[in-house]
Structure 1
Amino acid sequence: MFKNIFNEEDRGQVGIGTLIVFIAMVLVAAIAAGVLVNTAGFLQATAEDAGQQSVNKVTNRVEVLNTHGVVGNESNIQGINMTVRLAAGSSSVDMNETSIKYLSSKTVQTLTNQTTTDGDGTNEVADADEFGLTMVTDDDGSFGVLNSMNDRYEVTLDTADIETGNDGADINNGLTTGEQVTLEITSRTGGTTQVILTMPQQLAGKEVDDPVEL
Structure 2
Amino acid sequence: MFETILDEEERGQVGIGTLIVFIAMVLVAAIAAGVLINTAGFLQTQAEATGEESTQQVSDRLQVVSQSGTFDDSQGNGQIVELDFVLAQSPGASNIDLSETSVELIGESGQATFTLSESSGDGTIIDMFKGENNVVFTDSSDRAQVTITLDDGGTPTTGGANAGDSAYVLEEGDSMVVTFTTASGATTTSEIRVPSTVVSESVRL
Give TM-score, length-normalised by structure 1: 0.78
Say if 1:70 and 1:77, in contact at 8 Å, map to a contact too: yes
Shift of 1:115: 3.4
RMSD across aligned positions (CA): 2.5
Q: Give the structure 2 partner of residue 84 of structure 1.
A: 87
- Residue 108 in 1 paired to residue 111 in 2? yes
Alpha-carbon offset, residue 161 of structure 1 = 3.5
Structure 1 residues not aligned, in runs of 5+: 1-8, 117-123
Which residue does the alignment assign to 2:21?
Answer: 21
Larger displacement relative to structure 2 (67-76 or 40-49) = 67-76
RCO greater where, 1 or 2, for CA within 8 Å and sep 6 or more?
1
Q: Secondary structure at the match of 1:63?
A: strand
Distance 1:152 1:168, change over 3 A: closer
- Once the two structures are superposed, residues 69-127 of structure 1 have per-residue CA deviations (whole angstroms, 9 ceiling, x without a partner) of 101116311111000010011111001111111111222111212334xxxxxxx2552
Find out whether 1:93 has 2:93 as its counterpart: no
d(CA) in 2 for partners of 1:168, 1:33: 63
CA distance in structure 1 between the partners assigned to 2:152 and 2:30 by the alignment: 67
User: Deviation at 1:16?
Assistant: 3.3
Cα distance, 1:19 vs. partner? 2.3
TM-score normalised by length of structure 2: 0.82
User: Given the alignment of the two structures, is residue 182 of structure 1 paired with residue 177 of structure 2, yes or no?
Assistant: yes
| Counterpart for residue 6 of structure 1 | none
Q: 1:38 to 1:168 in 2, by over 3 A?
A: closer
Equivalence map 1:61-76=2 (5 Å): 61-73=61-73, 75-76=78-79
Structure-2 separation of matches of 1:179 and 1:65: 22
Q: Is the 8 A contact 1:178 1:200 kept in 2?
A: yes
Instruction: Supply the distance in 2 between the matched residues of 1:146 and 1:168 (Cα, whole angstroms).
Output: 26
Paired residues for 1:35-46 under 5 Å = 35-46=35-46
Q: Does the 8 A contact of 2:149 with 2:161 survive in 1?
A: no
Equivalent pair of 2:108/2:170 in contact (CA under 8 Å): no
**1:145-169 per-position Cα deviation (integer Å, ceiling 9, x unaligned):** 001111100011111149xxxx557
Report the CA distance shift for 1:213/1:46 in structure 2 as closer, same or farther (over 3 A).
same
How far apart, CA to CA, are the structure 2 residues paired with 1:125 and 1:151? 25
Q: Which residue of 1 aligns with 2:156?
A: none
| Aligned-residue offset at 1:12 | 5.6
1:145 and 2:140 aligned? no
Q: Is the 8 A contact 1:93 1:147 kept in 2?
A: yes
Question: What is the CA–CA distance in structure 1 between the aligned matches of 2:111 and 2:202, rounded to whole Å?
Answer: 24
Q: Which runs of 5+ in 2 are unaligned?
A: 1-7, 154-159
8 A Cα contact 1:134 1:153, kept in partner: yes
SS in structure 2 opposite 1:175? coil
**Does the 8 Å CA contact 1:75/1:202 hold for their aligned counterparts?**
no
Q: Give, in whole Å, the separation in 1 of the partners of 2:93 and 2:136.
A: 12
The count of residues paired between Structure 1 and Structure 2 equals 185
1:6-50 CA-to-partner distances (Å, cap 9, x unmatched) read xxx9x9634433222111100000000111111111111111111
Partner amino acid, structure 2, of 1:132: I
